[in-house]
Amino acid sequence: MLLGLLGLSFTPLGHSMLGAAGEGALAVTFLVLLLAIVVGAFRVVHHADAIAHRVGEPLGTLVLTLSVIGIEVALVVAMMLQGAADPTAARDTMFAVVMLAMNLVLGLSLVSAGSRFGQAIHNMSGASTFLGTLIVLGTLSLVLPRFTTSAPGGQPSTLQSWFLVGASVFCYGMFVSMQLGGRREWFQESGVATDQSGAVAGHHDVDTCRGGVKALTGFLLAYLVAIILLAEHLAHGLEGVIESTGLPHALGGVVIAGIILAPEGMAAIQSAKQNRPQRVINLSVGSALSTIGLTVPAVLAVAIYKHTPVELGLEPVEILLLTLTFAVSVVTLCTGRTTFLHGVLHLAIFVAYLVLIFDD
């Protein structure tokens, strides 16, 4: 279905359906594209989990995270460059990803784990490393530009943009080198025996994918490319649906973020049901960190090269929600134990985020 729809989108008939549809046809086309991309997301999760089963943690989780962020970078850049460029598109999408990853995905995972196992124990060193890097990069990228006066609104100046590109790449690169290098054990299940590949001893995933890592990576990349190409059409369709229905403009960022996070979100909730709390953190907090660490430099590099204005600084109420999310995340993850209540608190923040979108 995904590849068939991808082929149709490049035919004259496909362009006619996607570009010149009436309101009713536009809504139907949007729903079909959304369904196709969700199906593709399931396949991405399937192949990424198979790769993770072969290469172990945390490399397996990192493969899924980087794959999903590739979708985000391509989609956000396409939204910046095509049609009427929206200077807040990148900011809204990144903020939505952080809210969904840190509150919806993490909250649902903690509620699921808490209802089954009472409490979940994770590696506190890995969680604090995740949060420290995320808080610094998130504040520098999404908060600082709102308070500086060297550029209008929440736009970073040219000097500030280059600083954010360098700081994001360097800090995220150092984090990944620690995650895959000398501190690899910080990002594996705490207090649980692991085999030589990093997989949890005694835990056997059902691996129905055949082939080696190279073949599985090829399939994963094929689905990602298809999703990226279809997502460009989906973004245009989403904009038309929002305008025709009078829904809040910021809701578009939530929908795009939901599509981007679907693979990691499903994998995180499944990991919570299997009592694998460290993988939940690697996926949920890791996706938020990768969004800031990789999307910000990509967006700013394109903006500098194309002389396209980009607004990164959040509005005051959004800064308050981001600060609350960071504070609650520190309380949740930096004790090494999570409960059902921690998940409920994160879900409450996410519901507040949705309410403020419609209450604006």
Question: With left for phi above 0 and alpha for psi between -120 and 50, is residue 276 left, alpha or beta?
Answer: beta
Q: Give the torsion sign (CA, 37, 280, 349, 93).
A: negative
- The DSSP element (H or E) to which 120 belongs, if any, is strand 119-121
Cα separation, 115 vs 109, in Å, equals: 10
Tens place of pLDDT per residue across the chain (360 aa): 554 545 444 444 444 444 444 556 666 777 787 788 778 777 777 777 777 777 766 666 677 677 777 777 777 776 666 555 577 878 888 899 999 999 999 999 999 998 888 888 888 888 899 999 999 999 999 999 999 888 878 899 999 999 999 999 999 999 988 888 777 788 877 654 444 344 444 444 445 555 677 788 788 788 877 877 776 677 667 767 777 777 777 777 788 788 778 777 888 888 888 888 888 888 889 889 988 998 899 889 888 888 888 889 999 999 999 999 999 999 999 888 888 999 999 999 999 999 998 886
Cα separation, 220 vs 45, in Å, equals: 9
**All structural domains of the chain:** 2-196+210-359 (1.20.1420.30)
Structure tokens at 81: 């460059």
Sequence-distant (6+) residues with CB within 8 A of 207 are 49, 50, 53
pTM equals: 0.81
User: Is residue 121 helix, strand or coil?
Assistant: strand
